[in-house]
Amino acid sequence: MFNLIKYEFLRKYKLILMTVVSALIINLFLITRGVSGSSIFLVFFPFILSILYVSDIIRMYGDDLNKKSGYMLFMTPNSGYKIIVSKLITAVFEGLAIILLYFVFILLNGAYIIYVAGDYINFDEVIRAINMLLSGSLGFNLGHVFVLLFAALVFIIGFIITAYTAMTIRKSIFSENKFGGLLSFIIFIGLNWIISYTSGKLFSVLSPYYDSYANLNNVSASELVVILFPMIAVSIIQSILLTICSGYLLEKKINL
């Protein structure tokens, strides 16, 4: 398992390095524009990087299923379950690294703004200044940002494993069908509809749970965790079930 995860990272370390360097250069350019430049970077950075993150992970899995590099991977003495789980773990680590990188950029931008203002740079002061800025303009703090980013990562992983499952079904059950690509897209849409329908039914049952928070004007970070917990739990269960399904198909039905 460790070797598979290491293999995944070795395949993309150049892309990761280029992305980090590019983000740093863009941030340095925008930060010279003052607070507005920093705000633009910190708002758009997670959205742009999320798109690149998802597209790269899905593209790499598609390459494994459809190119010679994938043929060599599936010929190794590793089960389909190990292969799909290693890819999922790699995606989780990469997503956590992105969150960590984003917080580093938040701290760097906060420190620079304090420095330009002529104040003494202190870690506690940087955190306090960022929290004051967020609470004043958006009504939350860094704790809320972390919770929201973690929840977003869980949902993105669920989206990725849904795409994995659709691609695996296309390469196994419908491998001989000339409309396999179209079928894969239809399966992907169908899986997302089933998941959305099931989640909607579950959340309607849990509506009294959410009603208890309806009158809260200022939700703390810990309360936000409690509010998001059912949705996060459903997404994790969904990811586990689809991972098992994809692993079974890779193990028993894959047609390279």
Please list the pLDDT of the chain residue by residue as tens digits (256 residues): 777 888 788 888 888 899 999 999 999 888 888 778 887 888 889 899 999 999 999 988 888 887 776 667 777 777 888 889 999 999 999 999 999 999 888 888 878 777 776 666 677 767 776 776 665 555 567 888 888 899 999 999 999 999 999 888 888 887 777 776 777 788 888 888 887 877 777 777 766 666 655 555 567 778 788 888 888 888 899 899 999 998 888 887 766 5
pLDDT at 114: 74
Among 147, 152, 145, 149, smallest CA distance to 130 is for 145
Rounded CA-CA distance 64/116 in Å is: 49
Distances 15 to 11, 34, 71, 125, 203 between C-alpha atoms, Å: 9, 29, 23, 34, 39
Contact 70, 63 (CB under 8 A): yes
pLDDT at 167: 87
pLDDT at 121: 67
pLDDT at 21: 92
pLDDT at 94: 93
Where do runs of H (alpha helix) occur along the chain?
2-31, 35-66, 68-74, 80-116, 123-137, 142-172, 180-205, 207-211, 221-252
pLDDT at 171: 82
Rounded CA-CA distance 200/230 in Å is: 12
* Count of structural domains within the chain: 1
Global pTM reads: 0.85
DSSP string of 116-165, one letter each residue: HTTPPP-HHHHHHHHHHHHHHHTS--HHHHHHHHHHHHHHHHHHHHHHHH
Give the structural domain span for 107.
2-252
pLDDT at 116: 74
pLDDT at 88: 92
Contact 32, 115 (CB under 8 A): no
